[in-house]
Amino acid sequence: EWNQKAAAITQFSKEEVMGRNLVSEFISADFKQSVQMVLADALAGRATANFEFPLYTKSGEPVEVLLNATPRIDSAGKLVGVIGVGQDITEKKAAEMEMTRVASDLRKLIDTANAPIFGINIQGQVNEWNQKAVEITGFGKDEVMGRGLVEDFISDEFKNSVKMVLEDALAGRETGNFEFPLYTKTGDRIDVLLNAATRRDASGNVVGVVGVGQDITERKVAEKQLETMAKDLQKLIDTANAPIFGIDVNGKVNEWNQKAATITGFGRDEMMGHDLVEEFICNEFKKSVHEVFNKALQGEGTANFELPLETKQGRQIELLLNATPRIDSQGQLVGVVGVGQDITEKKVAEVELTRVAADLRKLIDTANAPIFGIDTKGRVNEWNDKAAAITRRSKDEVMGHDLVAEFISPDYRDSVKRVLDNALAGQETANFEFPLYTKTGERVEVLLNATTRRDANGHVTGVVGVGQDISEMKVAQKQSETIANDLTKLIDTANAPIFGIDTKGRVNEWNDKAAEITKRTKDEVMGHDLVSEFISSDYHDSVRSVLDNALNGVETANFEFPLYTKTGQRVEVLLNATTRRDANGSVTGVVGVGQDISERKAAEQKLETIAKDLRKLIDTANAPIFGIDTQGCVNEWNQKAADITGYGKDEVMGHDLVAEFISAEFKDSVQAVLQRALLGENTANFEFQLCTKSGKVVDVLLNATPRIDSNGNLLGVVGVGQDITEKKAAEIEMTRVATDLRKLIDTANAPIFGIDVAGRVNEWNDKAAQITGRDKGEVMGHDLVAEFISPDYRFSVHMILDNALRGEEASNFEFPLYTKSGARVEVLLNATPRRDANGNVIGVVGVGQDISERKHAEGQLEMIANDLRKLIDTANAPIFGIDTEGRVNEWNQKAADITGYAKIEVMGHDLVAEFISGEFKDSVQAVLNRALRGENTANFEFPLYTKYGYPVEVLLNATPRIDSLGKLVGVVGVGQDITEKKQAEVELTRVAADLRKLIDTANAPIFGIDTEGRVNEWNQKAAQITGWSKQESMGLNLVEAFISDEYKESVKRVLQNALEGQEAANFEFPLYTRNGDRVDVLLNAATRSDANGIVTGVVGVGQDITERKQAERQLENIANDLAKLVDTANAPIFGIDTNGNVNEWNQKAAAITQFSKEEVMGRNLVSEFISADFKQSVQMVLADALAGRATANFEFPLYTKSGEPVEVLLNATPRIDSAGKLVGVIGVGQDITEKKAAEMEMTRVASDLRKLIDTANAPIFGINIQGQVNEWNQKAVEITGFGKDEVMGRGLVEDFISDEFKNSVKMVLEDALAGRETGNFEFPLYTKTGDRIDVLLNAATRRDASGNVVGVVGVGQDITERKVAEKQLETMAKDLQKLIDTANAPIFGIDVNGKVNEWNQKAATITGFGRDEMMGHDLVEEFICNEFKKSVHEVFNKALQGEGTANFELPLETKQGRQIELLLNATPRIDSQGQLVGVVGVGQDITEKKVAEVELTR
């Protein structure tokens, strides 16, 4: 055996090797013995797996082969040779050698690099640690390898962040320039700047992380010092309680602290780089400010200069400023720094005092509520415009007069005086009602809050009263009461049942008629759940749905439902369900006006029952029933008729029965029968045919009967039939089946025999005769088993036949029949009992199949299959097969070994769908599809996935599999496991990539030169720091192109030494950047050698130390700047050390305290300069700062040398040195002595205004210019339910005004913000619980001390009760009208002259007369017929005299001239003064009830 692959790799064709000795002719001498032993073992039956040996090619080249040698055994089990399946592993070994060389180069670079390089595995354990890492940490490689990097070498505070970076790299997310600390063996901290790169194996799986770092410890120390000093300066500036700004020599802002941002509104970002004077100082001050800054830029500072600045919002603020020259470390003037004090508030406070007094005056005068005041003698000293308006007495007429004696009626004088005296004694009164009399003598009702008025010292100086005019509210209440009485009377006396429910479904209305028809009194139902207690369970859902709809505003008309009486009788009600609303339009329940339709429903029910009974009889009859009218058209067609004909009722109704559904030969006879029936003559048992929808004929036996109506008129014919079709069909079918069976048995291609109950043959068809050689005559009547079955099968065949004779069938039973010539015939048999018409078993019939040839073929096939199976299973190559559906049907041992899937786990599974990865599915499927079309594919690479998820690379030959008939039945694939070979290739690539990545991503500059000194390596960091890209540098001479003349020789010498094998460490030299800047580099120069140890160049790994030196210079500059700023600041600045002793005291601190710097330095600040009562609090603030907690805006007093207190507003900030250690506190203050005095006076005046607002009986609110609430007095809290905390800062219109009023209220407030005030504006506020409060408002503009509008103040009057009363009046009128209009009962009204003045929709519906046609017409004269005029007049006259009439039958004539009957209650109508003004009638239409009674009788 020598396949194509063996020929391809050895160059020997099959013809050249067949028959020649393998070992002696094709194996090299040194392997002859071992190969011979392997083959001998196989020939002895012992297989060998994975044996390596070389085959030599025709040209003499060795080919490395990995071999499985398997014994070959023929179908008889005899050893006939050896088959070997191999794998060419030549390339794999070559790849391993190259990998070793590249890895060596990488190892040398890592070990000799000037940068620390470490690596971890996926468990985070160190597996790489170069010499530099050893040097800077003190830990030897042996001490760290295998230990957890994070756990053992990173401090606790950095563990999480370092772990996160390493986990990211392990997840494939690399990190550049990450700083973290390593700790040395001696405990010192080393700061490392790191690039963390993912490390992968040959398959691309992540196996760890490699990190290339740079020791930045010295640079970090320098940066830390620089940062600390900068932070100290910046913190001092930023946290100073005084505004600090700076400008450069061009006047552009380069410093702007938080306080400056706070007071101006301009953030630091908005100011930096802008011209301070030109952009932020108003024109009139530009010149003077320029002069001050110019003097400072010439070295001359200015103290206590007032600088005006304009805020972002356009407001001007005043600063008291020290402008100081700013000088850099070289002594150059670089700008001006200004430290100021905001004196705006001091001036504003003075103006504010005047404004607050004016605001108080305006509030009182313009309030919408009456406000008056009295002095301690009871004389009027306050009388606002509203008080004047409602009393008609001007301010001049009442001022100085005794309020009680002159303006209060005698019967109220004592109680009013008592309230006022209490208030003068400090006992205030709220919501006291009393009357004031107007100048014209009219009484005005007032609801009053009486509040004590005090002066600045708290002495009582009088009483102020804020009232509310409640006169209109009481009038409205009386009107509401009158309307309610009228509505109640109408409901109670109505002839229709009226009920009401609240929002919970509980009864809250139940009129007399409802009580009468249900036998339940009002007291028995009120408060009970209407649906659950009075409606039957089957109507609960529908009635509740109607009521819920009405509660949601969706009304329902003419809804029928039952009410049950107290005695359990059912009353049918026809209902209109109407939504009931309160004065605010909120739904409060449902009112229902009904009509008792019980009698009408009973009559309708009887008629319906009779009709249903007849319909059910016809539809459910088991006989077909049809009917025709006098024209012969179908008018009845029951379900049975539809079933047997296939025509549904809809398809036949109205169609001519005879013409469309009777076959031609029966048309005349059927027509004659129907005609006789239409003449009144019955026909019985008439046979005729109906045609079905599918064209079949149905035989029917019919009785045809005339159909007569209640008046005896002939209306048609009804026919009741019987379907006799099946009966005739059964007779014909029996004859046909017997003939068919006989023919089937005789001509069948299978042998069929039969036996009787005695086992004698009684059936023997032609095929049985043919295969046995015995004709029918030879076997009939003979015993089948005894004469024709061989002795060894007689028992089993006998048992099968006996079972069949007992009724147990047998299928697929194999047994032999012997032919006449003695040959054996294999038969596969089904044995079935044979039964007579009564079901009795009378024998057995057997239907067989001659399977002799099939059995012979199966034996042959089995032998061949065994040989193939052994070859496949023992092959060293993976072999698999699929069927035409792609399902695995072959899977040898090697395939199982390399994938981990046993044969049973894959057989029948889809190869591509389940075992090929997503990216290879399409290509593998394409190869298999080509093979399934008959096309071979050779050397196709694809991956199989192992049970454990690992990919196995396979090199495949896919060959079509063809069965013995030449049909394609699948694909067989023979493969070669090339996983290791592929891994070697990938690993080679990975190692090279790893080296490349390490170099390119290193945070340290790495370059390389060849033996000629030309650049052949230049990483990204080298490119970054020099400005020369890799493309520009490669091939250039390093020394000539990039090293300055004075360093050329020394650098050249270092590189030459490295080329001779003498490496250099920590060599400093400069590289020059593209733009000429010098970059200082600390370098390790290492020799680079190839795989054979020959020097090929030098690689240098460096460290950029440029920044470290620059940091040192910057430190000096910052220190000088900080010292100057502190000394010249306009704000007092002091410092203390950790013992509380003064170590900083600037000129301003000296100026305001009169203590010079020399007098305070080293002395304890608290014990010597703070008063006793503040010692503890100041000590706590300083202690907090010494603990790292800063304090802002702390007020405390410093005492001057002369003993005067100076109030200081202080920011106390911890002072931290460059090592992060707390060394003291720095305090920046502001002298607020004058400001505090102004605040005290302002507080006193504001207190008087606040008390007036808070205690006023009228709601007072205020908004700022954004519309947000900034004033909300106690009365506003009381009437809305919203506490002051809940509304302050929220939008008044957005949050508290309903949508429909938002625009109008907003317009009023915007007018007031524009200076246009509004009086007596009505608008709603909503309470916390959602209730609406109506307010009558005066909206007045509020201004600040400069006259700028700052908001609106509104003084209101709660007019809710008045509005509610008005609304109730309106609602009740609407409710009454709606009840009348939507009632399901007819309602009409007449005036005292008998003219119609009420005519509801139901009255219009039943009479045909619309409301417009009736209103103003005489009801009796125009619409009552003459015979009833007198009696109707009498009823109406009695009602007009106050006597109602119940259950009076009133005849009315409709517009169409038809008379209708109403059952009427006629009730007197009385107005709110008790005057009789007409009659209202509520009726019930009883016309249908009488009609139903007549119809039922008929």
pLDDT in tens, 1099-1125: 888 777 777 666 666 656 665 666 666
Nearest CA-CA partner of 1378 in 490, 223, 468 = 490
pLDDT at site 1246: 58
Burial (CB count <10 Å: 0-12, 13-18, 19+), residue 332:
exposed
pLDDT of residue 863: 46
Residues near 25 by beta carbon (within 8 Å), at least 6 away in sequence: none
Parts of the chain with a pLDDT under 50: 607, 610-611, 737-738, 863-864, 867, 1498
| Predicted TM-score (pTM) above 0.85 | no
Q: How far is CA 3 from the centre of its chain?
A: 65
Position 985 scores a pLDDT of 66
pLDDT at 228: 65
Q: How far is CA 821 from CA 781, 785, 791, 801, in A?
A: 21, 18, 17, 25
Angstrom distance (rounded) from CA 473 to CA 468? 11
Residue 1136: enclosing H or E segment and its boundaries?
A: strand 1133-1137
pLDDT at 864: 47
Q: How does DSSP classify residue 235?
A: H
Beta strands in 757-802 (DSSP E): 761-764
Q: What is the dihedral of CA 595, 598, 601, 602, to 10 degrees?
A: -170
The alpha-helical segments, DSSP class H, found in 468-557 are 471-493, 512-518, 522-525, 530-534, 540-551
**CA 999/CA 431 separation, integer angstroms:** 89
Cα distance between residue 829 and residue 817, in whole Å: 11
DSSP state of 275: B
Task: Tell how far CA 603 is from the center of its chain.
Answer: 60
C-beta of residue 1469 within 8 angstroms of C-beta of residue 1479: yes
Give the up-direction half-sphere exposure of residue 1454: CA atoms within 13 A in the CB hemisphere. Answer: 15
Burial 1174-1208 (b: 16+ CB within 10 A, else e): beeebeebbebbbeeeebeebebbbbeeeeeebbb
Look at residues 994, 1002, 1001 and name the one whose alpha carbon lies nearest to residue 1103.
1002
Single-letter residue type at 757: V
User: In this predicted structure, what is the pLDDT of residue 418?
Assistant: 93
Dihedral sign (CA 124, 128, 132, 136) = positive
